[in-house]
Amino acid sequence: MERFAPSRIHFVGDEAALARDAAERIVRRLAHASRDRERLAVCLTGGSTPRHLYALLATEPYGARLPWPRIHWFFTDERFVPHDDERNNARMAIDALLDRAPVPRENVHRMRTDVADAHESAKLYETELRAFHAGGRIDKPPPLFDVVLMGLGPDGHTASLYPGHASIDETKRWALGIDMAGYEPYVPRVTLTFPALASAREMLFLVSGEDKCHAIARVMQNEDLPSARAHSEGELLWLVTRSARPAGAH
């Protein structure tokens, strides 16, 4: 596992500062990528921390700078609950962002939860990702995603990749079904794997809340946590609010 470089963490003020900083990076990254790619791809994380950012992206001065018709929206992971369930990650992102901006419906790639189980959903999603990537590989340029947003759980999990689960060692599959989450909500999950998540021009961790202080400290001490294993073919940056800053961290 690659050593964690402290330079990869930027401590920002509060949640509003986190959302503004992330929104500016996303807009810049997509403006840059749109010079040499017709279709752009953003992979959205679930959980509660990104909600502020999602709401901000649909407003000015960010909305007008985004090439909405060219952006495709994917998800890092999903709780295997009905689409209209409030625990559904895609529903959160659609309510906060995708329904508030001129996003073509066909550009939103949800993980299906109306199929037999999370394993079938993962297979379908991998097929959809491979088709979108036009047969491209995820370990060679060009990357699958322009931006991948990630979250951090208090136990060090990210996406639905949990400490001690075999899924964190997956090297071939792009998506996996998880029979039972390692953290609440305790429902089956569908998750992208580290190789798929790493196929990105920029990976941006969004971390906020006192309950994340300990996990951040463990990542900075290079403990082998799933979130510490997350890497990107391109850039990797952690944006962390003051509330989640471990004592003594600079």
Which of 160/193 has CB closer to ligand 6PG? Answer: 160
Tell me how far apart the alpha carbons of residues 81 and 79 are, in angstroms, rounded to a whole number. 6
Total interface residues for ligand 6PG by CB under 6 A: 16
Q: Does 48 bind ligand 6PG (CB under 6 A)?
A: yes
Q: How far is the CB of 60 from ligand 6PG (least distance, A)?
A: 25
**Region of 53-61, 109-117, 139-147, 155-163 interacting with ligand 6PG (CB under 6 A):** 155-163
- Among 26, 45, 162, 219, the residue binding ligand 6PG under the rule CB under 6 A is 45
Q: How far is the CB of 77 from ligand 6PG (least distance, A)?
A: 5
Which of 158/167 has CB closer to ligand 6PG? Answer: 158
Tell me how far apart the alpha carbons of residues 176 and 185 are, in angstroms, rounded to a whole number. 18
Which of 33/56 has CB closer to ligand 6PG? Answer: 56
- Among 29, 41, 43, 46, the residue binding ligand 6PG under the rule CB under 6 A is 46
Residues 71-100 binding ligand 6PG (CB under 6 A) are 76-77, 79, 89
DSSP 181-199: -SSSS-S-EEEE-HHHHH-
Q: How far is the CB of 137 from ligand 6PG (least distance, A)?
A: 25
Tell me how far apart the alpha carbons of residues 145 and 157 are, in angstroms, rounded to a whole number. 21
**Beta carbons of 228 and 211 less than 8 angstroms apart:** no
Q: How far is the CB of 185 from ligand 6PG (least distance, A)?
A: 7
Which of 77/170 has CB closer to ligand 6PG? Answer: 77
Tell me how far apart the alpha carbons of residues 173 and 166 are, in angstroms, rounded to a whole number. 12
Tell me how far apart the alpha carbons of residues 44 and 35 are, in angstroms, rounded to a whole number. 22
* Residue 74: strand pairing partners: 43
Place of tokens 């940056």: 237
Tell me how far apart the alpha carbons of residues 21 and 246 are, in angstroms, rounded to a whole number. 20
Which of 1/186 has CB closer to ligand 6PG? Answer: 186
Residues 167-206: x where in contact with ligand 6PG by CB under 6 A, - otherwise, as a string? ----------------------------------------
Tokens of 170: 């997956």
Query: Residue 86 CB: number of other CB atoms within 10 A?
Result: 8
Helices (H), the chain: 15-33, 51-57, 89-93, 118-132, 194-198, 213-220, 226-229
- CB-based closest residue to ligand 6PG: 151
Tokens of 248: 């003594």
> Which residues contact ligand 6PG by CB under 6 A?
45-49, 76-77, 79, 89, 151-153, 157-160
